[in-house]
Amino acid sequence: MSTTPACPQCAMENTYPDADNYVCADCGHEWPMLALADTDDSTDAVIKDANGNALADGDAVVLIKDLKVKGSSTVLKMGTKVKSIRLVGGDHEVDCKMDGGSFMLKACYLKKV
């Protein structure tokens, strides 16, 4: 019985601890124990769009409703397409670059395209 986690690289379970790292005997991948010791799901929660699809950096999305930008008169129109989003976590999870600048948006107002 092994208590070490499966290799995140090749998913083989032929791993062993080495100082502060785990090492995979199959592919040679090493990764820190600390990252995997953190079992709190909230730190790497999947960010989902309005339809429940997982979003990732670089995804293209469209707005599903008009969004007023806080502290300005700018309104981002429903249907506006954002080519490449960046996930940042926090209250407004998605960082978008558009013609008007850079905006922080909530993933629940976006739809992956």
Residue 26 as a binder of Zn ion (CB under 5 A): the answer is yes
Residue closer to Zn ion by CB (options 9, 72) is 9
Stretch of 25-33, 52-60, 64-72, 93-101 contacting Zn ion, by CB under 5 A: 25-33
In the 8-state DSSP scheme, what is residue 83? S
Residue 9 as a binder of Zn ion (CB under 5 A): the answer is yes
Residues 35-94 that bind Zn ion (CB under 5 A): none
In the 8-state DSSP scheme, what is residue 9? T
Give the separation between CA 35 and CA 44, rounded to whole angstroms. 11
Supply 67's token pair. 């969004």
Residues forming the site for Zn ion (CB under 5 A): 7, 9-10, 24, 26-27, 29
